[in-house]
Structure formats: structure tokens, C-alpha cells
Amino acid sequence: MRTIETTARVGDDRTLVLQLPSDVSPGEHRVVVMIEELPIPAVKPEPLRFSGYDVELIDPDFKFRREDLYGDDGR
């Protein structure tokens, strides 16, 4: 026996669709479904916030052209 724990969405028509891992063989299987009483609350993730960091080029005349960054062999 194997336990797979995942989160699933129940549609308005009360259908449940699961995508199983590829190592589960096709055919009939005994499946146990456990539904928690309360749905999982929707959590909106906070946007990432980065502190400002003032940067300058080492040489203001330097250009980021491919010819300047790579050698003759393209690397």
C-alpha cells in the first residue's frame, strides 16, 4: 500500500480529478478519499520586496556588447 497526499480542487459539479505519478500502474485500485471538514483558505502570497542598492558601472564607457563579453570562439 502506498499513501499519496496532495491538494485537489472540487468543482461546482462535485467532481474530483487527480493526476497520479507515472509509477502508478493503470488498472483498478482501491482508493480511500479523506475530505477535511473545512476547505483550505486561499492564501495570497506577499510580493517579494528587495531593498534598493545603488550600483554603477566600473567604467561608464563600457558597453555590454557580445563582442566585448565573449572571445573569438563565442565563449
The string of pLDDT tens digits covering residues 14-64 is 888 888 888 888 898 888 888 888 877 888 889 998 888 777 767 777 777
The predicted structure's pLDDT at residue 41: 80
Distance CA 53, CA 19 (A): 44
Q: Work out the pLDDT band at 10, boundaries 50, 70, 90.
A: confident
What are the CB-based long-range contacts (under 8 Å, 24+) for 3-6? none
Q: Which band of pLDDT confidence, cut at 50, 70 and 90, is reported for residue 72?
A: confident
CA separation for the pair 21, 3 (Å, rounded): 12
Distance CA 18, CA 50 (A): 37
Predicted TM-score (pTM) of the model is: 0.38
